[in-house]
Amino acid sequence: MSGLPEHAVPDEVDTDDWRLAVRGSVGQPRTFDAADLADLPTETFSADFDCEAGWVAEGLSWRGVRVGDLLARAEPSPESRFALVHAMDGDYACAFPLDRLESAVLALELDGEPLPVAHGGPARLVPTGDGDCWESVKWVDAIELTADRPDDTAREIALGRID
């Protein structure tokens, strides 16, 4: 298996009719379902994952679509500079500078299998390069583009779980 610890899946996470919305400061708001994403080009890469709480999962193989490809289809407005990535577990959301988010991958597979719900399936954000564990947003259901840096919750929620 992946080596990622399995955390509990919150009750709000219901993946039956999963869709991803791209909205906010865009010319053409879009929603993608799993079949739409399956038609897009994918990338595969390996990375270690380490959590601030002190554990590491080595050599994970992710496969998914480049977030920049998805966002382009929604025609980002010239003033958009940031994005808030929303998840299905309540208020969990993480802010990114848009250029950094564009280079991230929205992972749909882990180690050659459809991404399990236990690890954020159907879709989990996997930022490339260095980043914090809470930026790997599980159960992504919306990406909201903004002109100014939005307030987010992910860091506080994640750090609040560490004693």
Ligand X SMILES: Nc1nc2c(c(=O)[nH]1)N[C@H]1C(S)=C(S)[C@@H](COP(=O)(O)O)O[C@H]1N2
Rule CB under 6 A: say whether 92 interacts with ligand X: yes
Q: Pairing state of beta strands 20-24 and 140-146?
A: parallel
The only residue of 21, 98, 117, 133 in contact with ligand X, by rule CB under 6 A: 133
Contacts of ligand X in 16-75 (CB under 6 A): 51
**Judged by CB, which is closer to Mo ion: 123, or 158?**
158
Rule CB under 6 A: say whether 134 interacts with ligand X: yes
What is the C-alpha to C-alpha distance for residues 126 and 50, in angstroms, rounded to an integer?
12
The only residue of 119, 121, 126, 145 in contact with ligand X, by rule CB under 6 A: 119
Rule CB under 6 A: say whether 117 interacts with ligand X: no
In the chain, where does DSSP find H-type helix? 34-38, 67-72, 98-102, 154-160
Q: In this structure, which amino acid lies at residue 23? A: R
Q: How many other β-carbons are positioned within 10 Å of the β-carbon of residue 104?
A: 23
What is the C-alpha to C-alpha distance for residues 133 and 80, in angstroms, rounded to an integer?
25
Rule CB under 5 A: say whether 51 interacts with Mo ion: yes
Give the binding range for Mo ion (CB under 5 A) out of 3-11, 44-52, 59-67, 78-86: 44-52
Name the minimum Å distance from CB 52 to Mo ion: 5
What is the C-alpha to C-alpha distance for residues 1 and 62, in angstroms, rounded to an integer?
13
Residues contributing to the site for ligand X (CB under 6 A): 4-5, 7, 51, 87, 89, 92, 119-120, 133-134, 136-139, 157-158
